[in-house]
Amino acid sequence: MSIQTAAKRRIDMPALLAWFVVLMVIVGLFSPIFGPDYGVMDVPSLAVCLVILAIAGVRYELGFMRNLIGDLILGLVAATSAWLLVSTVSQHVGEAKLGFWALVVATWAASWLFVERLALWKSRSQSLARIVNLAIPAIFGITLLVLWQLVVTGAGVPKVLLPAPSEIWLRLINSVPTLWADFQQTFLKAVLAGYIIGCGSAFLIAILVDRVPFLRRGLLPIGNLVSALPIIGVAPIMVMWFGFDWPSKAAVVIIMTFFPMLVNTVAGLAASDAMQRDLMRTYASNYWQTLFKLRLPMAMPFIFNALKINSTLALIGAIVAEFFGTPIVGMGFRISTEVGRMNVDMVWAEIAVAALAGSLFYGAVALIERAVTFWHPSIRG
């Protein structure tokens, strides 16, 4: 692969970005920042911002300090200018003009340049490589948030349409009790109960199905078909049958998680190859010994694949099921009512909680997977 990247006539991305930064700084210098007659020099902090960005761009172009320290300084410069932009624009909401946008783009390009340089770092030690691998997506995420903040405040996007991250954060820390109650109702009750029952029962049925070849041939095509169906549509029926409270949501989660788990477990149980089964046969191993010592360990990568898919499906199922009727608590309930009241920042706060819960849930399953299937080529790397 390294040969490929060294291929001829490759565009020199860092140089391009550095030139772009310089160009944007020049644009920023000669056009109004806020309102019709607000130049760079009228906003001292932005002038500073402009200077350091220009230094960053020129520094790279002149080949000055193209090393680790230089790269770190570049990152620092990008962060500082982002901070200056965020703090100045909060005093001039919705007044951004061409010069401001040029500076925003320049900052963005500078942080891209930083990431580009970061990716080129030769990993001297394992821990450094790991930090870089974590830092790159983190910087990407932060950049996205900063851009969101700058664009929303700079252009004065109405709060109803898209609130700024800072507003969402404020709303989030101001309504922790409500969010916690919703989280309890939806995640701790409906999602977890449904997930455990759904995955557990599918696992047991998969072992039964595997034991009976007739069932395997009959159920597997149906299971595959059902996996492709919009199962979420059973939500209104479940609400009708099991009432408004969390059991009906758990039922939806059970149905949604059941089939991926069934199909994957059955496929996993068939994953052991003929040689390994022959080996167990020469030991005169019985069905259960073969199951526990060979086939279940072999099926683990498949089972965890289903567990990971299901961790996101479960949350989606529970939240959407709440659109069809809930008591006055729950993440889905909050989202649908606050949308109705146009309290979009509360909706986003709820989404942030859901995203965090979903990511942590997924991450937890992935961690257990690493521990259980440490031997699998995809994990041991």
Q: Select from 320, 330, 349, 369 the one that contacts other proteins (CB under 8 A).
A: 320
Nearer to other proteins, 54 or 318 (CB): 318
Q: Select from 44, 133, 204, 364 the one that contacts other proteins (CB under 8 A).
A: 133
DSSP 196-259: HHHHHHHHHHHHHHHH-HHHHHHHHHHHHHHHTS-GGGGHHHHHHHH-SSHHHHHHHHHHHHHH
Report the site for other proteins in 327-346 (rule: CB under 8 A): 331-332, 335-336, 339-340, 342, 344
**How many helices (H) and strands (E) are present in the chain, helices listed first?**
18, 0
> Total residues contacting other proteins (rule CB under 8 A)?
87
Tokens 């009750």 correspond to what residue? 189
Nearer to other proteins, 22 or 331 (CB): 331
Q: Select from 34, 183, 259, 324 the one that contacts other proteins (CB under 8 A).
A: 324
41 binding other proteins? (CB under 8 A): no
**Sole window of 19-27, 56-64, 71-79, 131-139 interacting with other proteins (rule: CB under 8 A):** 131-139
167 binding other proteins? (CB under 8 A): no
Q: Select from 160, 176, 188, 208 the one that contacts other proteins (CB under 8 A).
A: 160
Helix (H), strand (E) at residue 182:
helix 176-183
Report the site for other proteins in 192-221 (rule: CB under 8 A): 214-215, 217-219, 221
3-state secondary structure of 371: helix
Question: 313: exposed, middle or buried (C-beta count within 10 Å: 0-12, 13-18, 19+)?
Answer: buried
Q: Select from 280, 291, 306, 307 the one that contacts other proteins (CB under 8 A).
A: 280
Q: Select from 20, 60, 108, 112 the one that contacts other proteins (CB under 8 A).
A: 112
Q: Select from 48, 136, 170, 197 the one that contacts other proteins (CB under 8 A).
A: 136
DSSP 58-74: HHHHTTTT-SHHHHHHH
Structure tokens at 272: 């052991």
Q: Please say whether the beta carbons of 187 and 243 come within 8 A.
A: no
DSSP code of 272?
Answer: S
Nearer to other proteins, 64 or 283 (CB): 283
